[in-house]
Structure 1
């Protein structure tokens, strides 16, 4: 096991449901310095585990473990932290409670403060649903978080993105005739069409038109869809996926007792220096959504990733995109924080 477990005890979620013996899986990179001020929190995205974040961590990179103490907490529902697949009855599989982004960040805060006694975070960074968590950290703990850097992630799930995620959920519901009482019957084979649905959203029209999948070693479109999308989704537990889809669909940094749905107030309350990096061709976490959000964040800059890799410009696959993200993070971390 290349990660650690932080036991949370019985946790009352935003929904009011108490999840017994909850836990966060996390991995750390580097050492916490004496002042405890070299901390970077880097939450995982939908379907990802800490390993998928490691492309952005390394010597000589912005997220340098020689310099920073980097904490990668795993999203609830991802199979490592408390999830439908690892929770005993009565909260196993389809009975797993609904978990919000707010819940995730609140529990990550407990990890950071209770386990490590950290009071200041130099940076919260994340891709996609990891990006939403970085916005949530900035809104929930404005005096603690000095910088945020969401890439290919928005501060809430806008209606179109909700519909995209609903489209990913639909094949799983169709597999049980839209009868939620039969959800326990789902298997990983039912994930195959979910991968096909996502294939049209993860990458841009230009990516497919220019056949960039050939750079990844696939000779045909059919091989690429089967080899990447079907294969990666069939490795996921369908109940974990449904749990994470719910978290994604209802993500909103203002949907909590702090802001009571006042989205603009939540954005305005983010004190952190913010470097927001939308993918220029992202089809469902769009540049326009981030442009709107950035207007309300007092110390935000918008640095789009000019790329035809769509949402996956932030996935650590295309070297030009990776270089740009790393350069932006290097600049952001070099900025002095007043006070």
Structure 2
């Protein structure tokens, strides 16, 4: 089934970290139809370097996320090139000056989309991978009566110190390119060397030591580590550098304790939804250890580790058959509770 893709215009959006996002627009996709009660909703916030299209492998008549039964909504993260992003700016200076849009800003805009525009009364399941998982957790803490179940895959509610150090390393790789110019480069002169370095530095963090030691990159069609690294270079060359940096800022400032000025422990304790947290066993930056710490603070949470050699990428939608099957079965079980 093809999604319905649309845009909601939000006007001038005040931001939680100060400033405003002018002429804010939120691009979203939907599959299926909303029921008369406004309650058959599955929410899929997008992840870093992802769009609503990235979730297609999870959606279908033979999936837990069946659009014949569920109204599936995937709002695009600010900065991802579809919703308001630096790449939409008219001048290099405007692009470089794109403000920090927090996770809270994203979910508040998404809440307006769901309640004011689409007529949603409650969400059966908020679910996502990576930065989509982060948003799902924030949704449940910020709007506890609105979210009935949560499925967090390879993500945590806050950006922990190791995660921030990882993000600092990929930022430094991009910013080391003189063409970066603090984001004020011309559209026709992007920092290509920096983008390639960004992808090359990112890649090893995304998998695991087992993945490289056992040469599992061959299962992905690469005959060497260098071939894999080159593919990551090419993938990131397709992205606008300022968009990558804007989403990175959103990610590194993720702090569930910032909701209403609470501590992280209090914010997590506010979550009423039945929650399954599924960290990857070998995830290098959204670690299983830190997922367990957060899970212990949520009243109705269960931590189920996704045993996989594929690191953070284990939870990527549709990428690995066994892992995708486990995710689908878990989503099905949560929806049965909703």
Normalised by the length of structure 2, the TM-score is 0.94
Measured in 2, the distance between the counterparts of 1:302 and 1:203 equals 21
Cα 1:298/1:91, change in 2 over 3 Å: farther
Q: How does 1:204-243 map to 2 (within 5 A)?
A: 204-227=208-231, 229-243=232-246
Mapped contact 1:172–1:186 kept (Cα < 8 A): no
Post-superposition offset of 1:261: 4.4
Post-superposition offset of 1:193: 0.4
Mapped contact 1:176–1:183 kept (Cα < 8 A): no
Measured against aligned partners, the alpha-carbon deviations of 1:90-119 in whole angstroms (never above 9, x if no partner) come to: 973211011100000000000001111212
Measured against aligned partners, the alpha-carbon deviations of 1:58-90 in whole angstroms (never above 9, x if no partner) come to: 112111111100000000000000000013459
**Greater shift in the superposed pair: 213-222 or 90-99:** 90-99
**Greater shift in the superposed pair: 175-184 or 54-63:** 175-184
The answer to whether residue 140 in structure 2 is matched with residue 138 in structure 1 is yes
Normalised by the length of structure 1, the TM-score is 0.94
Measured in 1, the distance between the counterparts of 2:302 and 2:227 equals 39
- Long gaps (5+) in structure 1: none
Give the corresponding residue for 1:290: 291
Measured in 1, the distance between the counterparts of 2:221 and 2:179 equals 37
Give the corresponding residue for 1:58: 60
Mapped contact 1:176–1:182 kept (Cα < 8 A): no
Cα 1:21/1:182, change in 2 over 3 Å: closer
Cα 1:204/1:304, change in 2 over 3 Å: same
**Greater shift in the superposed pair: 76-85 or 54-63:** 54-63
Post-superposition offset of 1:280: 0.5
Measured against aligned partners, the alpha-carbon deviations of 1:169-228 in whole angstroms (never above 9, x if no partner) come to: 00122113996375666434430000011111000110111111111211121112112x
Q: Give secondary structure in 2 for the equivalent of 1:254.
A: helix
For 1:253, which of 252, 256, 261 is the aligned residue? 256
Measured in 1, the distance between the counterparts of 2:284 and 2:35 equals 40
Q: CA RMSD in A?
A: 1.8
Give the corresponding residue for 2:25: 23
Mapped contact 2:280–2:314 kept (Cα < 8 A): yes
Cα 1:30/1:217, change in 2 over 3 Å: same
- Long gaps (5+) in structure 2: none
Mapped contact 1:195–1:232 kept (Cα < 8 A): yes
Q: How does 1:103-182 map to 2 (within 5 A)?
A: 103-176=105-178, 180=182
